[in-house]
């Protein structure tokens, strides 16, 4: 490791962007004007390096201000934080939203992922190529560019586009559903209006718990939240005491909603009892699983509920410092989260002595920058700490050595929000909803070829058919072909599986997964082969490259699929299928994290159950 700072210097604007996050430099060694005293002393070391967790925010600041991260800017950041430039480059280049080559200020990220494929993203792309030019080329005045993007999490309104504009007053806007004319207008400098929230289909329904305040409260008003029962749960938590809260959560049999279905009570208990201090609490809101958008709805429609739930979790587990790690592609959710935290602090619901109970807790916000893998909990720790978002080996588990190697509770947004009900009505009452093995309610993200894509809430145990019906079923006049359950890391099921009970235990028995609640529906208008290719390409792009089975396996998987799609199998089709099977086993057995372990799931399930090749081969 060496501190060989590059010769290029940062521009004044770049330095301003960096200083806005890190504060003014205090000596010429980190960028201030040379003084006589500087020649005789310098401080840094641990103090400077202890701020490394600001690397991601500071890179965001430069990217947002200038539109790309120049070697000079990166060098300046390295100097400020005592980070070897090679490491900082490794971090900056890890994230898709950061550019390390000059890039125009306006960028339209056009989602071409699977949910948008069902809704015409390919036509949108073709139109853009025709009218504007190929992705990555500067149209017209050179101030703008459009790029293809993985899932933007706006699947219910596909096709989706995210427009970012760097500058003094940077902005990020989502457009969905987007047409070529929206993109063209954005590229010409006419940015789309701020996106508004759309009501969920079940708004106001007595059947929903998690969504009960959606559309009812003003998501930008703490007072509105409190008028709808906000902070009743925290008050109740104080009455129960930390051990009492954990007992209720354990009694509720709440399982994690991020995909791994780990018992939340056990996680909390382990951290609460851990003698090592401090404890950290993290809300994992990096939902990047293609087809997933449930957490976005919580931030957009009821952000205070998450803050209250985190405060309860912190109270129960003895954490004084919390983080929300929100994916970078959610401008509206980010705005509302920032506002909610600001208001909660102002009103004393975060900070010192919360609600006069002597409790201290605050939340720091972190924005992802386009890396699917950062949703893996240990990768997320590394990302917050300012390292490449590469998963760590487990054990040690997060409850023992998580963020900054300290005991850490990390929960998904939906998991946390459930805690409010658990505290209010008691764990046993909560457990009465749902099934024995899967208690409570579940949020389902319906997208693709359904009549009313969107977010739906139902108790566990509901059948696939029932959920589909809630969304109006397959588009009128079309025929159901397959359903992707659980997202790209999930599995395809055919129409024969519509009576599948949606619970952790039933899906496990059926050899599929609920994952993050994705239900993506495909009808006969969507050929499966390109979808599979897109999934393979997604994993290839998103593999962090740290461990070999995944780095190599995801590439080989995509290549074999491509040969099958192009009807040019090496050997026979069966040879290729055998190869894919072998790659899948290799990745599943030997990858260190879930990405590699599940990167073949959807493809395998499609090949096994749906036989898309060669009869359905599409070039």
Partner 1 sequence: MFGAGGGTSSYREVEETDLIILWGSNARETHPIFFHHVLKAVHNGARLFVVDPRRTVSAQWADGWLGIDVGTDIALANTVAREIIHSGLHNREFIERATTGFEEFAASVEEWTLERGEQETGVPAAMIRELALSYARADRAILCWTLGITEHHNAVDNVFSLINLALLCGHVGRYGSGLNPLRGQNNVQGGGDMGAIPNKLPGFQDIERDAEAREKFRQAWGVEISPKYGWHLTQMFAAMERGELTAAYVIGENPAQSEADAKHTHELLEGLECLVVQDIFMTRTAQMADVVLPASASWCEAEGTVTNSERRVQRVRKALEPPEGARDDIEIICEIARRMGHDWDYPSVEAVWDELRSLSPMHAGMSYSRLEELGGIPWPCTSEDDPGSQFLHGRLWENPISGPPAPFFVCEHELPVDRLTDEFPIRLTTGRRLDSYNTGVQSNSFTSPLRRPETLDLSPEDCEQLGVEEGERVQITSRRGTVIAPVRIDPTLRPGLAFMTLHFPDEVQTNILTIEATDPKSGTAEFKASAIKVEKLPLPQTDAAPGQVALPAR
In this complex, which beta carbon is closest to partner 1, that of residue 29 or of residue 262?
29
CB of 280 to partner 1, least distance (A): 19
In sequence order, which residues have a C-beta less than 8 Å from that of residue 145 and are 6 or more positions away? 103, 104, 106, 107, 108, 136, 137, 138, 139, 187
Bridge partner residues of 521 (DSSP): 448, 483
Q: Is 589 exposed, middle or buried (0-12, 13-18, 19+ CB in 10 A)?
A: exposed
What span, in angstroms and rounded, lies between the C-alpha atoms of 567 and 581? 18
> Which of 30-38, 311-319, 507-515, 551-559 is the region at the interface with partner 1 (rule: CB under 8 A)?
30-38
Q: Does 82 bind partner 1 (CB under 8 A)?
A: yes
Q: Does 38 bind partner 1 (CB under 8 A)?
A: yes
Chain centre distance of CA 364: 17
Q: Does 40 bind partner 1 (CB under 8 A)?
A: yes
Q: Does 7 bind partner 1 (CB under 8 A)?
A: no
> Which of 32-40, 175-183, 381-389, 400-408 is the region at the interface with partner 1 (rule: CB under 8 A)?
32-40
> Which of 28-36, 97-105, 318-326, 501-509 is the region at the interface with partner 1 (rule: CB under 8 A)?
28-36
> Which of 41-49, 248-256, 485-493, 566-574 is the region at the interface with partner 1 (rule: CB under 8 A)?
41-49
In this complex, which beta carbon is closest to partner 1, that of residue 3 or of residue 123?
3
Give the ranges where 45-153 is alpha helix by DSSP (H). 46-49, 55-66, 71-81, 85-92, 114-117, 121-131
Q: Which of 512, 590, 513 is nearest to 553 (CA)?
A: 590
> Which of 27-35, 179-187, 366-374, 389-397 is the region at the interface with partner 1 (rule: CB under 8 A)?
27-35
What span, in angstroms and rounded, lies between the C-alpha atoms of 74 and 82? 12
Q: Does 87 bind partner 1 (CB under 8 A)?
A: no
CB of 373 to partner 1, least distance (A): 25
In this complex, which beta carbon is closest to partner 1, that of residue 153 or of residue 386?
386
Among 8, 23, 24, 43, binds partner 1 (CB under 8 A): 43
Q: Does 33 bind partner 1 (CB under 8 A)?
A: no
Q: Does 45 bind partner 1 (CB under 8 A)?
A: yes
Pair of tokens at residue 242: 């930390």
CB of 432 to partner 1, least distance (A): 50
What span, in angstroms and rounded, lies between the C-alpha atoms of 594 and 584? 13
In sequence order, which residues have a C-beta less than 8 Å from that of residue 608 and are 6 or more positions away? none
Among 12, 33, 39, 356, binds partner 1 (CB under 8 A): 39
What span, in angstroms and rounded, lies between the C-alpha atoms of 98 and 103? 10
Query: What CA–CA distances, in Å, run from 208 to 21, 231, 456, 465, 487?
Result: 41, 19, 9, 18, 23
Number of amino acids touching partner 1 (CB under 8 A): 19
Q: What angle do CA 111, 285, 231 make, to 5 degrees?
A: 135
Among 12, 33, 46, 393, binds partner 1 (CB under 8 A): 46
> Which of 33-41, 203-211, 254-262, 526-534 is the region at the interface with partner 1 (rule: CB under 8 A)?
33-41
Residues between 147 and 166 with contacts to partner 1, criterion CB under 8 A: none
Q: What are phi and psi of 575, to 5 degrees?
A: -60, -45
> Which of 1-9, 217-225, 417-425, 564-572 is the region at the interface with partner 1 (rule: CB under 8 A)?
1-9
Among 47, 130, 395, 615, binds partner 1 (CB under 8 A): 47
Q: Does 34 bind partner 1 (CB under 8 A)?
A: yes
Q: Does 404 bind partner 1 (CB under 8 A)?
A: no
Q: How many CB atoms lie within 10 A of CB 571?
A: 10
Provide the mask over 279-318, with x wherever binding to partner 1 is found by CB under 8 A and - wherever it is not.
----------------------------------------
Chain centre distance of CA 396: 23
Bridge partner residues of 351 (DSSP): 361
Which stretches of the chain bind partner 1, using CB under 8 A? 1-3, 28-29, 34, 36-47, 82
């Amino acid at each position: 490791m060496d501190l060989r700072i590059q010769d290029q210097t940062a521009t004044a604007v770049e330095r301003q962007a960096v200083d806005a996050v890190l504060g003014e430099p205090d000596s010429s060694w980190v960028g201030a004007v040379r003084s006589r005293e500087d020649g005789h002393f310098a401080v840094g070391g641990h103090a400077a390096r202890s701020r490394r967790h600001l690397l991601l925010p500071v890179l965001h600041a430069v990217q947002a201000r200038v539109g790309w991260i120049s070697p000079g800017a990166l060098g300046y950041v390295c100097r400020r934080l005592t980070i070897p430039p090679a490491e900082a480059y490794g971090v900056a280049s890890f994230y898709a939203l950061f550019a390390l080559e000059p890039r125009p200020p306006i960028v339209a990220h056009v989602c071409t992922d699977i949910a948008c494929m069902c809704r015409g993203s390919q036509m949108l792309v073709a139109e853009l190529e025709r009218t504007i030019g190929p992705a990555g080329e500067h149209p017209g005045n050179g101030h703008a560019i459009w790029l293809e993007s993985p899932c933007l999490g706006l699947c219910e309104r596909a096709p989706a586009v995210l427009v970012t504009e760097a500058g003094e007053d940077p902005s990020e806007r989502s457009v969905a559903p987007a047409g070529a004319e929206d993109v063209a207008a954005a590229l010409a400098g006419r940015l789309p209006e701020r996106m508004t929230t759309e009501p969920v289909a079940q708004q106001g329904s007595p059947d929903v718990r998690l969504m009960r305040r959606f559309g009812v409260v003003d998501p930008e008003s703490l007072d509105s939240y409190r008028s709808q029962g906000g902070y009743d749960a925290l008050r109740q938590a104080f009455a129960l005491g930390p051990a009492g809260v954990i007992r209720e959560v354990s009694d509720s049999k709440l399982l994690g909603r991020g995909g791994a279905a780990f018992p939340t009570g056990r996680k909390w208990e382990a951290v609460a009892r851990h003698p090592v201090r401090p404890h950290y609490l993290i809300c994992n809101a990096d939902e990047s699983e293609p087809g997933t958008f449930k957490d976005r709805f919580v931030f957009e429609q009821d952000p205070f509920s998450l803050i209250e739930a985190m405060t309860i979790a912190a109270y129960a587990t003895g954490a004084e410092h919390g983080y929300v790690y929100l994916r970078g592609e959610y401008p509206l959710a980010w705005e509302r989260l920032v506002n909610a935290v600001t208001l909660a602090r102002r009103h004393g619901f975060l900070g010192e002595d919360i609600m006069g109970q002597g409790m201290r807790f605050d939340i720091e916000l972190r924005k992802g920058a386009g890396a699917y893998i950062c949703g893996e909990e240990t990768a997320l720790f590394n990302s917050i700490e300012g390292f490449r978002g590469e998963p760590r080996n487990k054990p040690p588990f997060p409850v023992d050595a998580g963020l900054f190697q300290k005991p850490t509770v990390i929960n998904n947004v939906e998991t946390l929000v459930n805690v409010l009900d658990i505290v209010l009505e008691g764990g046993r009452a909560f457990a009465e909803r749902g099934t024995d093995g899967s208690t409570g309610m579940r949020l389902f993200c319906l997208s693709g070829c359904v009549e009313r894509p969107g977010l739906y809430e139902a108790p566990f145990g509901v059948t696939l058919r029932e959920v589909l019906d809630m969304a109006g079923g397959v588009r009128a006049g079309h025929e159901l072909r397959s359903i992707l359950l659980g997202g790209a890391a999930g599995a395809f099921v055919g129409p024969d599986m519509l009576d599948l009970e949606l619970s952790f235990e039933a899906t496990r028995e059926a050899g599929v997964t609920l994952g993050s609640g994705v239900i993506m529906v495909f009808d006969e208008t969507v050929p499966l082969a390109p979808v599979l290719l897109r999934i393979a390409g997604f994993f290839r792009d998103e593999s962090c490259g740290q461990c070999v089975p995944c780095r190599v396996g995801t590439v080989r998987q995509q290549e074999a699929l491509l040969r099958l799609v192009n009807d040019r199998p090496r050997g026979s089709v069966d040879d290729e299928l055998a190869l894919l099977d072998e790659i899948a086993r290799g990745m599943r057995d030997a990858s260190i994290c879930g990405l590699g372990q599940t990167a073949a799931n959807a493809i395998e399930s499609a090949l096994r159950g749906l036989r898309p090749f060669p009869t359905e081969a599409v070039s």
